Amino acid sequence: MTAYHPLPRRRVLSGVVAAVLALPLALGACSSDDGAADDGKIELSFFWWGGEARAQLTEQALALYTSKHPEVTFKKTWQANQGYFDKLATLTAGNDAPDIFQIDDNYLAEYATRNVTADLSEYTKSGKIDVSKFQKGLVDYSTVDGKVAGVAMGENTQGLVYNKAKLDAAGVAVPTTGQSWQEHITWAKEAAAKAKIAGTMDPSADYKAFWVWLRQQGKEFYNGSELGFTQADVQAWFELWKGARDGKSTPTADVIHEGNATDVTKQLVVTNKALTSWVWANQLPELQKNTKDDLAVIAYPGDASKQWARASMYFSIYRGSKHKDVAADVLNFLANDPEAGKILGTDRGLPSNLDIRTQVAASTDNEAMKETIKVMDELGKNFGPAPTVPPKGHSTVRSELIKAAEEAQYGRATPAQAAEQFFAASQAAIKR
């Protein structure tokens, strides 16, 4: 029988051992070179996430800066949102973070409390970064532990986008700012019956909707680095939406799950699976690109003055940057220069600088953009004080809310059980 060798034992063994060793233990790290030259020329590395359109605008604006300051050039890197923060974290771990990088309120506190971002208060105080024309509240919403961690490159606020075309066609009155939550849910039920599309997306998994609702109850999402609500609040919130689901105001759980994704293209109002989506008001122009139906935006239900001017994105400067002063000047330019403002438009949110905002509103011929600016200006007049920037652990709290809310949506947990789960998990997340 020795003639038959399907596979000699030793080879099998060594193959197996090699396979076991090839475990994904090694978490990669990559690094690139620093752009410091000694001939008076300065190269700043600049990193953001976004699409093709944003890349073009940003590159144009940076080229404009270089044309005015020929000694400063930029090493630009950009990519899609997916994986952006993995890369930024890896670069930071290698002490090689970009001089200037884009960041949002999900991660600002994570980076700021670990001193990755340079404290810009010195620049905002001296006016080297001029924030005097900024919408009020934006600087507060850029401050972590008393340090200015980033420059707000845009403003947004919660916006309920609805399908105006479908509502008009079905002969249903459009929703209006100031309706109570219960009124909205009742409206959604009627609209669904007439338009044959689910009335309103169920936002119970959406932290920003929960946040507005909490503020209207006199609570906060966070008090500093503590939770600003109780388990009973969460339960009441989940029960409100369980009622809406039972009353057929919202789509079914699997459709809600689709809508819980943050991509613009998956929002139910553009995929025609619901008549509303709970988004940021400045996303209206982007949503409008994805549907032929005429869309419009209003505030979330309840008292709209409890919404706030949220910095939609920031540019931060790395604490290890060798050219902080130059980087600060670049940020000042991007935020306050009229020409740069014209180029950047509302891509990252409405311009923080109100003068530039007015100028952009006057010069645009995009109807959705005009509508957004109009609505946000209207809302902005009544805004109260902004809350603090969400603390470290916020992105985990957000995903825990989605998890718990979906448990309730799929009927796998009662609102009380889901609330208990979320409350415990989020407390653990911000304490770690």
Partner 1 sequence: MATTTARPSSTRPPAGPAAAQRRGRPARHRTDGIAGYLFLSPWLLGLLTITAIPMLMSLYLSFTNYDVLSDWESMEWVGLDNYRTMFTDDPSFWHAVQTTLVFALVATPLKLAAALGVALLLNRPFKGAGLFRGLFYLPSLLGGSVALAIVWVNMFNRDGAFNSFLSWFGIEGKAWVNDPDFALGTLILLAVWQFGAPMVIFLAGLKQVPVELYEAASVDGASPWRKFINITLPMLSPVIFFNLVLETINGFQGFTSAFVLSNGTGGPVDSTLMYTLHLYIKGWNEYQMGYASAMAWVFLLAIGLVTAVVFRTGRFWVHYSDGED
Q: CA torsion sign, 198 to 175 to 401 to 346?
A: positive
Pairing of strands 310-317, 151-156: antiparallel
Looking at the Cβ atoms of 13 and 169, the one nearer to partner 1 is 13
Using CB under 8 A as the binding rule, whether residue 261 contacts partner 1 is answered as: yes
Using CB under 8 A as the binding rule, whether residue 196 contacts partner 1 is answered as: no
Residue 340 sits at the vertex; the CA angle it makes with 160 and 356, to the nearest 5 degrees, is 55
- Cα 268 from Cα 264, distance rounded (Å): 9
Using CB under 8 A as the binding rule, whether residue 366 contacts partner 1 is answered as: no
Q: How far is the CB of 35 from partner 1 (least distance, A)?
A: 22
Number of helical (H) and strand (E) elements in the chain, helices listed first: 18, 12
Whether residue 211 contacts residue 331, with contact meaning beta carbons closer than 8 Å, is answered with no
Binding-site member from 4, 196, 292, 362 for partner 1 (CB under 8 A): 4
Query: E-assigned strands of 80-228?
Result: 100-103, 143-144, 147-148, 151-156, 158-163, 222-223, 226-227
Q: Which stretch binds partner 1 (CB under 8 A): 134-142, 218-226, 378-386, 402-410?
A: 402-410
Q: How far is the CB of 326 from partner 1 (least distance, A)?
A: 24
Q: How far is the CB of 94 from partner 1 (least distance, A)?
A: 10
Using CB under 8 A as the binding rule, whether residue 146 contacts partner 1 is answered as: no
What are the tokens at 46? Answer: 């600049």
Q: How far is the CB of 81 from partner 1 (least distance, A)?
A: 11
Using CB under 8 A as the binding rule, whether residue 26 contacts partner 1 is answered as: yes
Q: How many residues bind partner 1 (CB under 8 A)?
A: 50
Using CB under 8 A as the binding rule, whether residue 92 contacts partner 1 is answered as: yes
Q: How far is the CB of 79 from partner 1 (least distance, A)?
A: 14
Angle between helices 394-409 and 207-216 in degrees, nearest 10:
90
Using CB under 8 A as the binding rule, whether residue 426 contacts partner 1 is answered as: no
Q: How far is the CB of 409 from partner 1 (least distance, A)?
A: 9
Distances (CA, A) of 278 to 120, 133, 262: 33, 29, 10
Looking at the Cβ atoms of 206 and 407, the one nearer to partner 1 is 407
376-395 residues near partner 1, rule: CB under 8 A: 393, 395
Residue matched to tokens 């509302």: 346
Using CB under 8 A as the binding rule, whether residue 19 contacts partner 1 is answered as: yes
Q: How far is the CB of 340 from partner 1 (least distance, A)?
A: 30
Give the helix, strand, coil percentages of the chain, each rounded to 5: 50, 15, 35
Question: What is the radius of gyration, based on Cα positions, of the chain?
Answer: 24
Q: How far is the CB of 261 from partner 1 (least distance, A)?
A: 6
Residue 342 CB-density burial (10 A; 0-12 exposed, 13-18 middle, 19+ buried) = middle
Using CB under 8 A as the binding rule, whether residue 345 contacts partner 1 is answered as: no
Q: How far is the CB of 144 from partner 1 (least distance, A)?
A: 13
Q: Which residues pair with 144 in a beta bridge?
A: 147
- Cα 385 from Cα 379, distance rounded (Å): 13
Whether residue 211 contacts residue 388, with contact meaning beta carbons closer than 8 Å, is answered with no
Using CB under 8 A as the binding rule, whether residue 9 contacts partner 1 is answered as: yes
Binding-site member from 14, 15, 127, 384 for partner 1 (CB under 8 A): 15
Q: Which stretch binds partner 1 (CB under 8 A): 32-40, 121-129, 254-262, 302-310?
A: 254-262
Residues that bind partner 1 (CB under 8 A): 1-9, 12, 15-16, 19-20, 23-29, 82, 85-86, 89-90, 92-93, 110-111, 114-116, 254-255, 257-258, 261, 393, 395-396, 399, 402-403, 406-407, 410, 412, 429, 432
